[in-house]
Amino acid sequence: MSKNPVSTDNGGSSRIDESAERIKQATTNAVAGTKEAVTRAADHVEASLHHATDKVAAGAHQANDKIADASERGRAAYDATMDRADEWLAQVRDYVREKPVQSVAIALGAGWLLGRLLRR
């Protein structure tokens, strides 16, 4: 049995190490490129969301202002109607005080007419 001396191939080993380093570098570059792309995409999404949020907030403020204006106009119309009704009621009271017999006759006539209309 003869022993063959084991020869070490330093050239093959160094090529393996060089290839491993190139793969590591390519992996690092790919990950860095991916990180940059994801960061840019996230920044774009964030900016778009901020812009959309600002638009929604502006629309909400505008709607709120319009609702407040409509509410104020509705309140003014209600107040004006109540004032007119109070004035009309005061006029009716004054008329009844001034002419009680005519007021009763008008009320009886209106009641009779309403009764006739509702029977049909």
Here the tokens at position 89 are 């009621």
Q: Can you tell me the distance from the alpha carbon of 111 to that of 116, in angstroms, rounded to the nearest whole number? A: 9
CA–CA separation, 89 vs 97, rounded Å?
A: 12
pLDDT tens digit string along 64-88? 999 999 999 999 999 999 999 999 9
What's the pLDDT band for 13 if we cut at 50, 70, 90?
A: confident
pTM: 0.47
Contact 100, 94 (CB under 8 A): no
Give the DSSP H or E segment for 9. Answer: none
pLDDT at 52: 95
Per the listing, tokens 């090529």 go with 15
pLDDT, tens digit, 9 for 90 and up, residues 38-66: 999 999 999 999 999 999 999 999 999 99
Question: Model confidence at 94, in pLDDT bands (50, 70, 90)?
Answer: very high
